[in-house]
Amino acid sequence: MLKRLVLSLIIAGLFIKPSYSQSLSKQRFNLTIYNIGVGALVGGAGGFLNKDPNERALKSILRGMGVGAAGGSLVAFGKSITYQITKSEALEFAWLARLTNAAGSSIIQNAYNNNKWWTKWNLNALGMHLEYDVPNNQFRGRVLFSSFITTLVLAKQAKLNVGRTLATGVFFYEKDGLPKGFGLIGSGIGVANSIAVDTNVEAGSRNEFYSLVAHEIVHTLQFDNLYWANPLFKRLDSNLKNKSRLYSNLGKYIHLDLNGALHYLIYEVQKSQPWGCRLYEREAEVFSNRIVPPCN
């Protein structure tokens, strides 16, 4: 019962909206604090849920909050690096942003699991979920399930640009027209480990193209931030593995992530608001383009 209450609190925390402000510096500050706060909340809750039996609850909550907050600040820093894509018109900064953000998300996941902050590192890249387990010196690479789904939806309507895929670390699709899918339609879409952009944007303005890509890259970072949600279903996962050999064998090659479903759900909740008021859109614009979108 208590565990369920704590889990509900974490999920509820994701829906807290940092206050809206027209001033860019205030908005950047609020969103940075929001990312640090979510890291602290997830780390603190995990510290409590996964504490050692002999440990005092307060001690493990505070430790989890501290480690989670540190991870949250790296997450925000990773998102702010995407501005370099817009400013320098260089797609390669996406890698730096993705690596920094993945390091922050991994630290938050370690805090959630009540492990040392450096225990496990995750990275989603090129449709794969890569994990490095430091104490066991074990590396594992598996197909990222959500990315597999987005590839199916985007490949049907748009063309993969291999050079840009390698330059950014996400599947990069291009379409002559507005890409659509998952209830979204726009000059760009960023879902799971893929982005799709309308080629007419680049034909019209080079800088607008880079600012669009930077914006969509932030959406892929928001997806990666939800790594910590996967351990919530650890028990269900191991039960299924014991019961089904097929499930257990598939798990060796496919990472059945919850990031996609949770990301979709969080965005769905925001969709009733005007575009510029949605937390995920505001965060993407403020970090990647240093613009506060109008909210009305």
Helix (H) or strand (E) holding 49: helix 24-49
Beta partners for 172? 195
Q: Given the complex with Zn ion, which of 229 and 284 has the nearer CB atom?
A: 284
Nearest distance in Å: CB 33, Zn ion: 21
Q: Are 89 and 294 in contact (CB under 8 A)?
A: no
> Using CB under 5 A, which of the segments 8-16, 95-103, 172-180, 282-290 binds Zn ion?
282-290
From the list 60, 171, 78, the residue with the least C-alpha distance to 114 is 60
- CA proximity to 75, closest of 38, 110, 118, 46: 38
| Subset of residues 13 to 32 that bind Zn ion, contact rule: CB under 5 A | none
Q: Hey, what are 1's tokens?
A: 């019962």
Containing 185, the helix (H) or strand (E) segment is: strand 184-185
Nearest-approach distance from CB 117 to Zn ion, in angstroms? 31
Binding mask 74-93 for Zn ion (x = CB under 5 A): --------------------
Query: Closer CB to Zn ion, residue 224 or residue 281?
Result: 281
Residue 91: closest CA among 1, 161, 7, 181: 161
CA distance 163 to 165: 5
- Nearer to Zn ion among residue 45 and residue 286 (C-beta): 286
Amino acid, single-letter form, for residue 189:
I
> What sign has the CA pseudo-torsion 158, 260, 263, 219?
negative
* In the complex, minimum distance from the CB of residue 184 to Zn ion, in angstroms, rounded to a whole number: 8
Q: Which is nearer to Zn ion, 81 or 212 (CB)?
A: 212
Interacting span for Zn ion (CB under 5 A) from 63-71, 73-81, 266-274, 284-292:
284-292
Please state the closest distance from residue 216 (CB atom) to Zn ion, in A. 7
Provide the minimum distance between the beta carbon of 215 and Zn ion in the complex, in angstroms, as a whole number: 6
Q: Which of residues 173-232 bind Zn ion (CB under 5 A)?
A: none
If the CB atoms of residues 14 and 214 are measured against Zn ion, the closer one turns out to be 214
Give the residue with the Cβ less far from Zn ion, 144 or 195: 195
Q: How far is the CB of 294 from Zn ion (least distance, A)?
A: 15
Residues 242 to 281 in contact with Zn ion, rule: CB under 5 A: 281
Q: Which residues in 202-230 are b (16+ Cβ under 10 Å) and which e?
A: eeeeeeebbbbbbbbbbbbbbbbbbbbbb
Distance in Å, CB of 158 to Zn ion, minimum: 17
| Binding-residue total with Zn ion (CB under 5 A) | 2
CB 134 within 8 A of CB 119: yes
From CA 243, how far away is CA 229, in angstroms rounded? 23
Q: Which residue has the tokens 């790594």?
A: 227
Cβ closest to Zn ion, residue 257 vs residue 281: 281
**What is the chain's Cα-based Rg?**
19
As measured in angstroms, the least distance from the Cβ of 219 to Zn ion is: 6
Closer to Zn ion by CB, 73 or 199: give it.
Answer: 199
**Which of the 8 DSSP states describes residue 232?**
G
Q: Which residues bind Zn ion (CB under 5 A)?
A: 281, 284
